[in-house]
Amino acid sequence: MERSMRVRRLVRDGISSVRGDVVAAAQAARRRLASRVTEGIGLLLRGARGVMGERTGQGTTEYAILVGVLVVIAILAIAAFRGKVQELWSAIADGINGL
């Protein structure tokens, strides 16, 4: 009886010790992960600030003007070739309906 109680106590103490080690390791891993995530977010924010700070808006304006000119050209082309465009759309629709 005495021996089985001793064994139980050793097992209980061993489990408590292992549990403490596991908890400590999990807490340390959580702290390391939180630190890395915080560093990553900081790095991302610093990079975003650098990119946003370097923009003067000139590139964006030039892009908007280019897109606007292309839209005007497309509208003029569709207006000029309206008949041909309608024939093309009709042919495409007939081809799809024929499937």
Are residues 46 and 2 part of one domain?
yes
Query: For the chain, what is the domain count?
Result: 2
Are residues 47 and 86 part of one domain?
no
Structural domain range at position 69: 57-99
Q: Helix, strand, coil: what percent of the chain each, to 5?
A: 95, 0, 5
**pLDDT above 70 (res 96):** yes
Are residues 12 and 48 part of one domain?
yes
pLDDT at 1: 58
Gap between the Cα atoms of 40 and 20, Å rounded: 30
Are residues 63 and 51 part of one domain?
no
pLDDT at 57: 63
Quote the distance between the C-alpha of residue 41 and its chain's center.
Answer: 13
Residue 33: pLDDT band with limits 50, 70, 90 = confident
Are residues 43 and 5 part of one domain?
yes
Are residues 62 and 42 part of one domain?
no
Are residues 38 and 75 part of one domain?
no
